[in-house]
Amino acid sequence: MMTINGRLFIMKKKMHQTITAAVLSVCALAAAVFVSRFPEPEKKARPGLAQLWENVSLSEICAGENRKGKEAMQQPEKEFYEMPLNDKIKARITGVSYPGEKEGILIGYDDLAYVHVLHYDFQMEVKEGELICNRKIAQDLVEIFLELYRQKYPIEKIRLVDEYGADDERSMEDNNTSCFNYRVIFGTDRLSNHSYGKAIDINPLYNPYIFSDADGRTVVQPENGTAYADRSADFAHKITHEDLCYRLFTEHGFTWGGDWEGTKDYQHFEKES
Ligand SMILES: [Zn+2]
């Protein structure tokens, strides 16, 4: 037979269990609400970003909005690197800027390198840039673009020409800075130095390619860059002998298309190596 104290003990125990159960249910409910309000973030696969940044958006990196982004902004030089073409990069360029080894291309994947940089665009916002070049000039590009970044040299876009279907005219019209593209020199059947990844075009819209065609007519490429063919005019983003790009590229052993006789290619720097 149970004593009064014994009954009181059981009642207290039951009350305790009820309160504990109630508290646990409230906690479980709160946790469920929390989880549903903050679902697992969607993984953002960004082709072209290095493995380290695979799940971090460019805006996060550039705005320093998360830990990795803050690190990138504190140590931006880590964003300037070169590496061999991996399978993802090969897949991006094959059949576009890279016709394929089976089609008799004179340069192998192993001769090329992927270069990753940051740059200031025309709004002076930090943007990510990607280049494919000959591996012999990859380190030059890393050093040159790091210095351009440090000195806040504005470059509008640095995207692989593959994003323009390897169409050089479209890339230039969009003022895209690019390097490797397996193609002939316009109007000829000779391979351009871009085919070997040894030439780079900087802010091409403002620094057009000017030459005479077979009929002696002056041609400006890109066509929408005609306004910038007059090099005595004063306008922004014009590459001259006083320009930082000119200084850095020539210091690294490149020649400038603006110094060519006859034909002028103000966007173009190349290095024989
Ligand atoms: Zn060029």
pLDDT in tens, 201-249: 999 999 999 999 989 999 999 999 999 999 999 999 999 999 999 999 9
pTM, full prediction: 0.75
Whether the bond into 222 is cis, omega within 30 of 0: yes
**Span 120-132, mean pLDDT?**
97
When pLDDT is cut at 50, 70 and 90, the band that residue 70 belongs to is: low
3-state SS assignment for residue 215: coil
Mean pLDDT of the chain: 83
> 24 alpha carbon to ligand 1 midpoint, in Å?
68
Q: Please state which of the ranges 2-6, 14-18, 152-156, 174-178 shows the lowest mean pLDDT.
A: 2-6
Task: Indicate the burial class of 65 (C-beta count within 10 angstroms; 0-12, 13-18, 19 or more).
Answer: middle
> 270 alpha carbon to ligand 1 midpoint, in Å?
8
> 265 alpha carbon to ligand 1 midpoint, in Å?
7
Q: What pLDDT, on a 0 to 100 scale, did the predictor assign at position 197?
A: 97
Q: What pLDDT, on a 0 to 100 scale, did the predictor assign at position 59?
A: 55
Residues with CB under 5 A from ligand 1 (ion): 199, 201, 268
Task: Indicate the burial class of 272 (C-beta count within 10 angstroms; 0-12, 13-18, 19 or more).
Answer: exposed
Q: What pLDDT, on a 0 to 100 scale, did the predictor assign at position 17?
A: 55
Q: Where are the domains of the chain?
A: 52-270
